[in-house]
Structure 1
Amino acid sequence: MNKWVKIVLVFCLFFLLVLIRFFEKDLFYDPLLTFYKGNYQYQSPPEMENFKLILNTFFRYLLNSGVSLLVLYVAFQKKAIIKFSLIFYCFIGALLMLFFSYLIFNFGKENYFLMFYVRRFLIQPLFILLLLPAFYYQYYIKKSR
């Protein structure tokens, strides 16, 4: 694949991640969006449907992970990278979803801060910001030595 085509495709895929974020209120059920925008330390938890929130958070994680895997595929086109990334996303996603589910069902003031960060890792495509430079270093920098 041409270098410029790769760059344009990766840019478009990152734009898709931005669109997911931009339309988050329309696409996903998440009463914690408005809760964490305010002074949440002194508020009581919002009324929420726990299973619906867990399913929507899982769906958002899958959507972000799928686009992130496409970014990695377009950038490197190596099966080993995609396989490792898929296993990584599944393992981390399962752990975070279990922890998130526990926190949702035990949501209290003592774990507002922890819930904020666990949820953040699930709803934002943060892992692509770690994996892309790591694979770039491994694939291109070490290859040139």
Structure 2
Amino acid sequence: MQGLPKNKSKWFLIAVLVGLLLCIRAGEGQWFYDPLLTYFKGDYQNLPLPPLDSFRYGVHLYLRYGLNSLISMSILFVVFRQREQLRFVAYLYVGLGLILGITFFLLYNSSTDAPKLLIFYVRRFLIQPLFLLLFIPAFFYQNKHR
């Protein structure tokens, strides 16, 4: 127990923010338009990709990505309290979001032979806060070696 920080409000805030990420995940079917949710839960390798309303899907995809990104950046700020790192992460989230979103729609619309597993993983990076799992250890390492 000695390793735990004395600042309990910091841990409470982190728990609330993680809870918000879990709420987004739990409500994904009701709050966001995503026909690929049920598609990728089934035997998708033998089925054609479902039709998408590209504009509506793009809005919901980026809304979810934005919410996850804001909450993830809040967690990073609570943990590290460094505005310079937060600014850097914000640029990374915007850049990676644009690259992954464009890649997703290019793969989805390119042909019926697009590798479905690649579409699955690009989409996964957009709808899940996976970058947070990469940034936390990277920042711990960077702060340790300063």
> TM-score by structure 2 length?
0.90
Aligned equivalent of 1:94: 98
Per-residue deviation, residues 7-56 of structure 1 (Å, max 9, x unmatched): 11111101110110000011100000000001101012213212111111
Match of 1:136 among 140, 143, 146: 140
Conserved in 2, the CA contact under 8 Å of 1:50 and 1:104?
A: no
* Cα distance in 2, alignment partners of residues 16 and 101 from structure 1: 27
Report how far residue 110 of structure 1 moved. Answer: 3.1
Aligned alpha-carbon RMSD (Å):
1.4
Match of 2:85 among 57, 76, 81: 81
Match of 1:53 among 49, 53, 57: 57
* Cα distance in 2, alignment partners of residues 120 and 107 from structure 1: 20
Percent of residue pairs bearing the same amino acid type: 40
Report how far residue 106 of structure 1 moved. Answer: 2.5
* Cα distance in 2, alignment partners of residues 97 and 47 from structure 1: 17
* Cα distance in 1, alignment partners of residues 111 and 54 from structure 2: 10
Report how far residue 107 of structure 1 moved. Answer: 5.1
Runs of 5+ in structure 2 lacking a partner? Answer: 1-5
Report how far residue 105 of structure 1 moved. Answer: 2.1
Conserved in 2, the CA contact under 8 Å of 1:93 and 1:122?
A: yes
For residues 8-87 of structure 1, the aligned pairs below 5 Å read 8-87=12-91
Aligned equivalent of 1:104: 108
Runs of 5+ in structure 1 lacking a partner? Answer: none
Conserved in 1, the CA contact under 8 Å of 2:107 and 2:114?
A: no
Greater mean deviation of Cα atoms: 31-40 or 42-51:
42-51
SS of the aligned residue for 1:44 comes to coil
Greater mean deviation of Cα atoms: 47-56 or 61-70:
47-56
The alpha-carbon distance between structure 1 residues 107 and 22, as it changes in their structure 2 partners (threshold 3 A), is farther
> TM-score by structure 1 length?
0.91
User: Where does structure 1 differ by over 3 angstroms across 4 or more consecutive aligned residues?
Assistant: none
Q: Report the number of matched residues.
A: 141
Per-residue deviation, residues 106-143 of structure 1 (Å, max 9, x unmatched): 2524321110010000000000001012112222x335
Aligned equivalent of 1:7: 11
